[in-house]
Amino acid sequence: MVKIFVCVSCRRPAAENGEEEVRPGEALATALEHGVAARSAGDRVAVCRVECLAVCDQPYTIALTGDDKWGYVIGNIDADTHADETVEAALKLAAAPNGIVPLRERPPSFRKGVVARIPPLTFEGKRP
Ligand code: FES
C-alpha cells in the first residue's frame, strides 16, 4: 500500500487567490481519490489529507510513501493537471519493491518536482 499525502493548506499566490473557498489541495485530494477509484487501485493507493508538508514555497505539495519503500516529497503539483500523473506515480511506487522508481519511468511532475527522497525505516545505510 502506498499513500499520497496531500497538503490541503497550500494557497495560490495572493494575486491568483481571489475569493476561492476550496483550497487547491482539497480539490487535488478529491481528484486523486477519483483517479484511484477510476483505476480500481484502492487496494494499492490511498489518499490522505495533511495540513502542511513544510514546502510551502512550492505549492502544491504532496508526499508519496509506502511500507519499506523510499518516500518522496514533491512540490509544484498543479491541482488541475497533475492528478492523473500523481496516481500514476503512486502506482509506480507501489510496484517498485524498494520504492526507487527509475527517473525515466516517472511522470513529468514526479521527475521534476522532487524536493526530498526519504529512506524507509528499515534502511540500514549503504554498505561499504
Ligand atoms: S502549506 Fe502546503 S506545504 Fe505548507
Q: Is 73 in the pocket of ligand 1 (CB under 6 A)?
A: no
Interhelix angle 24-38/83-95, rounded to 10 degrees, is 60
Please state the rounded mean pLDDT for residues 39-58.
95
Digit-coded pLDDT (tens) for 114-128 = 999 999 999 998 877
Provide the residue count of the chain: 128
Report domain extents, the chain: 2-118
For the record, the C-alpha cell of 67 comes out as 511500507
Distance 128 CA to ligand 1 centre (A): 37
Q: What's the whole-model pTM score?
A: 0.90
Q: State the burial class of residue 76 (Cβ atoms within 10 Å of its Cβ: 0-12, 13-18, 19+).
A: middle
User: Best of 57, 61, 73 to mutate for ligand 1, by most ligand atoms within 8 A of CB?
Assistant: 61
The CATH architecture one would assign to domain 2-118 is: 3-Layer(aba) Sandwich (3.40)
